[in-house]
Amino acid sequence: MTGAAIAGMGVTFPGPMRQDEVWTGFFERHYSGPRKGLAKRIFTNSGVVSRHGAVNPLIEDASSWSTAKRMGRYLTEALPLGKDAVTSALDAAGLRPDEIGLFVVCSCTGYATPGLDILLARDLGMAPTTQRLFIGHMGCYAALPGLGAATDFVSARGRPAVLLCLELTSLHVQPPSEDPQQIVAHALFSDAAAAVVLVPRAGQEVAEIAAVTDTATADHMTWDVTDLGFRMGLSPKVPDVLAIYVADLVGDLLARHGLTLADVDGWAVHPGGPRILDVVRDQLALPESALAESRDTLAEHGNCSSPTVLLIIDALRRRPSGPPRNTVALAFGPGLTLYGTLLRGL
């Protein structure tokens, strides 16, 4: 058995959009009814300053598109974004595509068969013997179980693996609605692709991945396929549920490795929204500075679903003062599920 260490990362985005321009140029008309005032407050207080969209609502209104049209556009946009992210990660790791033993792809915003895993493996020039794993339906936390699968492969087989998380939430703008949950989703979500290369050597090792799921709250976060794309359900009770579990999960994870909260110098917390970050800060008694990269990622890129926690890990690795020695990554999603990951050393 060998360890699995991060050898390279790559991130890429479709075109940028400013949150205030998206509001005034599109969503202000989209929510022109009784909920307009509420919608404006949600957009203003979302913590998002800029974000990215394969479909820019200032140019194209996708809210009336059929699901079939959205899925066609998904493939058109996803393939070049995914290829760029994986290529950047492989270049950073100094590896060729045909050296990869396992290719893991996470995405819940589009579906096709053959899937992104097959099409990108072909376009990138991976070997015919490369194993593939596609993870869908997990939403915002998918990166961490994906990282776990890749880590297990590298540790057991002694061969490199690549994880790609790619989401195009901009494809799923819904028709005008009075539902506050739809307003929140439209204010927060964004597009991105992020890739990680894992290799069998010492470095920033994936020490452990832990999870807890409260199935009694399964209806708090949903992602339903409709005739007009995928529709988000996002209960305002989500932060309250996370508050119940996050301290125990993190404390137990660290204790198994002889660590305490004081030993953690890097926090990658999925910014499901400002309240999520507030809950994690308060439940773990962290200083506000511990969440700087998480809040900055929300402000600069929005909530990109599964790639987001990888964007924060990448930002931590690029700190001017040097990367953290011990990083805890946290992500949340349907289930209601909380995943935690400990990354150790460089």
Rounded to an integer, the average pLDDT of 158-172 is 97
Could you name the CATH architecture of 204-344?
A: 3-Layer(aba) Sandwich (3.40)
* Confidence (pLDDT) at 30: 94
Average pLDDT, the chain: 95
Name the pLDDT band for 342 (thresholds 50, 70, 90).
very high
Q: Bridge partners of 211? A: 339
Rounded to an integer, the average pLDDT of 7-33 is 95
Residue 17: how many CB atoms within 10 A of its CB?
Answer: 23
Q: What percent of the chain clears pLDDT 70, i.e. is strictly above it?
A: 99
DSSP structure class, residue 175: P
Rounded to an integer, the average pLDDT of 252-280 is 97
Among the listed residues 106, 108, 140, 165, the single catalytic one is: 140
Q: Are strands 102-106 and 161-168 parallel, antiparallel or unpaired?
A: parallel
C-alpha torsion angle, residues 32, 38, 40, 43 (rounded to 10):
-130
* Confidence (pLDDT) at 304: 98
The reply to whether 5-199 and 204-344 are identical in fold is: yes
Class for the domain spanning 5-199: alpha beta
Locate all alpha helices (DSSP H) within 302-340, ordered by sequence: 308-317
pLDDT, tens digit (0-9, with 9 covering 90-100), for 322-334: 899 999 999 999 9
Annotated domain spans of the chain: 5-199, 204-344
Q: Bridge partners of 17? A: 51
Residue 155: how many CB atoms within 10 A of its CB?
Answer: 17
pLDDT score of 244 more than 50: yes
Q: Residue 20 has which token pair?
A: 């205030």
* Confidence (pLDDT) at 34: 83
111-to-76, 89, 115, 168 alpha-carbon distances in Å: 12, 24, 7, 11
In whole angstroms, give the CA distance from residue 250 to residue 259: 10
Does the annotation count 304 as an active-site position? no
* Confidence (pLDDT) at 320: 93
Nearest to 275, CA basis, from 240, 224, 312 = 240
Q: Which amino acid is at 78?
A: A
pLDDT, tens digit (0-9, with 9 covering 90-100), for 25-49: 999 999 988 889 999 999 999 999 9
Contacts of 43 (CB under 8 A, 6+ apart): 19, 23, 27, 183, 187
- Are the CB atoms for 103 and 160 separated by under 8 Å? no
Q: Crossing angle for the helix pair 292-301 and 274-284, nearest 10 degrees? A: 180
pLDDT score of 74 more than 90: yes
126-to-37, 83, 187, 340 alpha-carbon distances in Å: 51, 12, 37, 30
In whole angstroms, give the CA distance from residue 4 to residue 203: 8
pLDDT, tens digit (0-9, with 9 covering 90-100), for 107-121: 999 999 999 999 999
More confident residue, 61 or 178: 61
* Confidence (pLDDT) at 177: 87
* Confidence (pLDDT) at 32: 84
pLDDT score of 1 more than 60: no
* Confidence (pLDDT) at 199: 96
| pTM exceeding the 0.75 threshold for the entire prediction | yes
Q: Crossing angle for the helix pair 180-188 and 36-44, nearest 10 degrees? A: 30
* Confidence (pLDDT) at 346: 60
- Are the CB atoms for 167 and 305 separated by under 8 Å? yes
In whole angstroms, give the CA distance from residue 27 to residue 196: 34
